[in-house]
């Protein structure tokens, strides 16, 4: 479904992503594991069009999407939950969710009615969001914000979900909760690309994984085999 | 004494009603600042062009409302044009060139207006009566009421659209976090262009309601930019209600200072407000965000 070929990307100066080739098959959960600053975030931003790659290809459903604006890539079905969540904090919880479904909703018409089915689904999944639907997103707790970020992605009915550091800044009990949500999404057949520092949890929830160091893939394989690899476990205890 | 008080009250009321139009022009600043963090320093020129367009259209025999609608369409195109020519490139390169560029485009509009319509101030005919209503000894003309109602109505309409249509919420999302908006499939550039077009509509509409009071001429632009900018700086660009309040206060105080000190002093309060506002409270009375240093 998603494939990168020798992708290079970065901000100013040196490339932060130095020729990475990965593949995410339909219906699978793939993890990108690596330390802070290994280039994972740069890689997912390049996939989504938030930064323009310097070289290489990104194929989504067989078509090269390099150079498309982020909004266009989102409309094709790739949904990114960025590091740090990036909610629309002055807007309400429900408005945030509605914005997730923006391309599907009428610009002027009764958008709440059009989205009501999807909204109900999200509120069943995360009852806390239903309680706080008219509250400002910025006033939510960290865990609730992460739920909202996931909910906003799901509103888009994505073909591929990319989660960048979903556990960042959360208490251990909430991290557990998030990974539970990820594995239940995976069980529904959702295709997921997960970028994570915590190797143990990431390998537990994924089918395949890539270990990334200094902008390159250093190891790849099934998550089960990587989890048994002592070198991996030593380097990325967590 | 009693008479003096009544005269002052009269000045304050008619000035305050006029001040709502300043608030509307300042609201145009707020719209583009929220979406793209830039404002049009030639906004007064758009007001002037809106007034001239309306005047020309009604000169062609169109009824008043059709002329106003035509001016608003012209305003939308002009606002969009300013964003495309003077603002977008500068913002993409993360520099402040838009400040100078919007001023230059404004100067261009000014010369164009002088060449097309001439330098003389022209009257703007309106369909309502010249007469005035009397409220406890204070007279309010239909014209003044039209200015206040028009400014209030236009601001309310735009605010409702921002809050209760999906496209309005999307524009708010772009102001809050442009990258996140893109990730939701919102075309942020289109949203910013739209904000500039709506800002242009507000400016042109302001021209068609101010024009009948002040008469229409190329020189109306500079004074209006200054007044609207003072209102925006003093109120801050976060609150539409704040803009209205400060607009009314400015309108009232310039009328009173013109009455007490002579008509040459009419423009003084706007300048004083601007300087005091910038010195004491650069984020504005009602503002949360600091206006970019310009």
Q: Residue A230: which pLDDT band, with cuts at 50, 70 and 90?
A: confident
Q: What is the pLDDT of residues A170-225, one digit of tens each?
A: 888 989 989 999 999 999 999 999 999 888 889 999 999 999 999 999 999 999 99
Residues of A in contact with B165 (CB under 8 A): 107-108, 111
Domain tally, chain B: 1
pLDDT at B234 over 60: yes
Q: Residue A237: which pLDDT band, with cuts at 50, 70 and 90?
A: low
B257 contacts B265 by C-beta, under 8 angstroms? yes
Question: What domain range is B199 assigned to?
Answer: 15-117+140-280
Distance of alpha carbon A160 from alpha carbon A2, whole angstroms: 8
Q: What is the pLDDT of residues A66-99, one digit of tens each?
A: 999 999 999 999 999 998 889 999 999 999 999 9
Average pLDDT over residues B209-237: 89
Q: Classify residue A237 by burial, with Cβ atoms within 10 Å: 0-12, 13-18, 19+.
A: exposed
CA-nearest residue to A100 within chain B is B184
- Which of B165, B176, B180 is the closest to A107 by Cβ? B165
Of the candidates B210, B231, B209, the residue with the CA atom closest to the CA atom of residue B39: B231
At residue A193, the pLDDT reads 97
At residue B96, the pLDDT reads 86
Q: Note whether B169 contacts A103, CB cutoff 8 Å.
A: no
- Which of A71, A88, A100 is the closest to B182 by Cβ? A71
User: ipTM for the complex?
Assistant: 0.93
Q: Note whether A106 contacts B169, CB cutoff 8 Å.
A: no
At residue B205, the pLDDT reads 97
Distance of alpha carbon B25 from alpha carbon B45, whole angstroms: 11
Domain contains B127: no
Residues 6+ apart with CB under 8 A from A36: A197
Q: Note whether A156 contacts B184, CB cutoff 8 Å.
A: yes
Of the candidates A203, A198, A130, the residue with the CA atom closest to the CA atom of residue A166: A198
pLDDT at B279 over 90: no
Q: Residue B293: which pLDDT band, with cuts at 50, 70 and 90?
A: very low
Mutation target among A78, A98, A102, A116 for the B interface, most CBs of B within 10 A = A102
Domain contains B6: no
Q: What is the pLDDT of residues B146-192, one digit of tens each?
A: 999 999 999 999 999 999 999 999 999 999 999 999 999 999 999 99
CA-nearest residue to B179 within chain A is A50
- Domain ranges in chain A are 2-88+159-235
Q: First and final CA of chain B: distance in angstroms?
A: 45
CATH code of the domain in which B261 resides? 1.10.3470
CA-nearest residue to A108 within chain B is B165
Q: Residue B281: which pLDDT band, with cuts at 50, 70 and 90?
A: confident
Cα of A114 to nearest chain B Cα, Å: 11
Could you tell me if B289 lies within 8 Å of chain A, comparing CB atoms? no
Tell me the pLDDT of chain A averaged across its residues. Answer: 92
CA-nearest residue to B176 within chain A is A88
pLDDT at B291 over 50: no
Q: Residue B7: which pLDDT band, with cuts at 50, 70 and 90?
A: confident
Domain contains B7: no
pLDDT at A227 over 80: yes
B184 contacts A102 by C-beta, under 8 angstroms? yes
- Which of B167, B176, B188 is the closest to A71 by Cβ? B188
CA-nearest residue to B170 within chain A is A99
Q: Residue B288: which pLDDT band, with cuts at 50, 70 and 90?
A: low
Could you tell me if B187 lies within 8 Å of chain A, comparing CB atoms? yes
DSSP strand pairing (A78-81 vs B138-141): unpaired
Which of helix, strand or coil describes residue B9? helix
Number of H helices, E strands in chain A: 11, 11
pLDDT at B90 over 80: yes
* Rounded percentage of chain A residues whose pLDDT exceeds 70: 99
Tokens of B106: 């404004």
Q: Classify residue A213 by burial, with Cβ atoms within 10 Å: 0-12, 13-18, 19+.
A: middle
At residue B172, the pLDDT reads 95
Average pLDDT over residues A17-29: 95
Q: Note whether A74 contacts B185, CB cutoff 8 Å.
A: yes
DSSP strand pairing (B132-135 vs A78-81): unpaired
Domain contains B168: yes
* Rounded percentage of chain B residues whose pLDDT exceeds 90: 55
Domain contains B9: no
Phi, psi of B120 (to 5 degrees): -75, 150
pLDDT at B88 over 70: yes
Domain contains B290: no
DSSP strand pairing (A55-60 vs A63-64): antiparallel
pTM of the model: 0.90
At residue A32, the pLDDT reads 95
Q: What is the pLDDT of residues B21-76, one digit of tens each?
A: 999 999 999 999 988 888 999 999 999 999 999 999 998 989 999 999 999 999 99
Cα of B190 to nearest chain A Cα, Å: 11
User: What does B178-223 look like in DSSP terms, one character per residue?
Assistant: HHHHHHTT--HHHHHHHHHHHHHHHHHHHHHHHHHHH-B-TTHHHH
Distance of alpha carbon B158 from alpha carbon A172, whole angstroms: 45
Q: Residue B276: which pLDDT band, with cuts at 50, 70 and 90?
A: confident
Of the candidates B206, B225, B226, the residue with the CA atom closest to the CA atom of residue B44: B225
Average pLDDT over residues B198-214: 94
The fold for domain A2-88+159-235 equals: Rossmann fold (3.40.50)
Q: Note whether B176 contacts A98, CB cutoff 8 Å.
A: no
Q: Note whether A152 contacts B184, CB cutoff 8 Å.
A: yes
Residues 6+ apart with CB under 8 A from A161: A79, A81, A153, A154, A185, A190, A191, A192, A193
Of the candidates A102, A43, A38, A111, the residue with the CA atom closest to the CA atom of residue B191: A102
Cα of B239 to nearest chain A Cα, Å: 13
């Amino acid at each position: 479904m998603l494939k990168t070929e020798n992708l290079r990307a970065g901000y100013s100066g040196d490339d932060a992503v130095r020729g990475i080739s990965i593949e995410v098959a339909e219906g699978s959960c793939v993890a990108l594991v690596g330390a802070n600053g290994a280039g994972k975030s740069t890689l997912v931003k390049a996939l989504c069009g938030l930064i323009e790659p310097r070289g290489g290809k990104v194929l989504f459903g067989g078509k090269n999407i390099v150079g498309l604006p982020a909004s266009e890539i989102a409309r094709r079905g790739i949904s990114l939950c960025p590091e740090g969540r990036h909610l629309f904090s002055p807007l309400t919880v429900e408005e945030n969710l509605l914005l997730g479904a923006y391309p599907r909703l009428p610009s002027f018409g009764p958008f709440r009615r059009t989205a009501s089915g999807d909204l109900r689904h999200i509120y069943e999944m995360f009852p806390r969001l239903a309680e706080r639907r008219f509250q400002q997103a910025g006033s939510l707790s960290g865990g609730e914000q992460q739920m909202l970020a996931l909910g906003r992605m799901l509103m888009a009915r994505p073909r591929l979900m990319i989660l960048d550091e979903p556990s960042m800044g959360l208490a251990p009990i909430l991290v557990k909760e998030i990974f539970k949500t990820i594995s239940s999404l995976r069980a529904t057949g959702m295709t997921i690309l997960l970028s994570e520092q915590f190797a143990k949890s990431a390998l537990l929830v994924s089918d395949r994984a890539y270990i990334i160091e200094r902008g390159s893939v250093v190891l790849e394989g099934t998550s089960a085999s990587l989890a048994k690899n002592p070198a991996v476990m030593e380097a990325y205890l967590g | 004494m009693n008479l003096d008080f009544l005269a002052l009250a009269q000045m304050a009321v008619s000035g305050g009603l006029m001040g709502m139009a300043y608030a509307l022009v300042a609201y145009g600043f707020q719209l583009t600042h929220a979406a793209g963090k830039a404002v049009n320093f030639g906004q007064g020129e758009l007001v002037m062009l809106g007034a001239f367009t309306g005047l020309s259209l009604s000169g062609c025999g169109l009824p008043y409302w059709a002329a106003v609608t035509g001016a608003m369409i012209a305003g939308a195109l002009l606002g969009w044009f300013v964003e495309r020519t003077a603002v977008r490139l500068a913002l993409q390169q993360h520099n402040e060139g838009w400040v100078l560029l919007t001023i230059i485009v404004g100067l261009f509009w000014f010369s164009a207006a002088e060449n097309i319509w001439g330098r003389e101030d022209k009257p703007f005919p309106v369909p309502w009566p010249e007469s005035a209503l009397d409220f406890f000894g204070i007279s309010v003309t239909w014209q003044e009421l039209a200015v206040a109602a028009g400014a209030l109505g236009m601001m309310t309409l735009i605010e409702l659209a921002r809050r209760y249509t999906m496209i309005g919420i999307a524009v708010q999302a772009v102001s809050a976090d442009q990258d996140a908006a893109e990730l939701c499939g919102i075309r942020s550039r289109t949203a910013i262009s739209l904000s500039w077009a709506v800002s242009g509509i507000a400016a042109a509409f302001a021209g068609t309601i101010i024009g009948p009071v002040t008469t229409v001429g190329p020189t109306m632009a500079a004074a209006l930019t200054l007044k609207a900018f003072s209102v925006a700086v003093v109120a801050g660009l976060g609150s539409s209600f704040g803009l209205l309040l400060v607009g009314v206060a400015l309108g009232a105080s310039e009328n009173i200072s013109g009455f007490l000190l002579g008509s040459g002093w009419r423009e003084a309060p706007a300048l004083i407000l601007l300087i005091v506002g910038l010195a004491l409270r650069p984020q504005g009375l009602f503002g949360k965000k600091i206006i970019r240093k310009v």
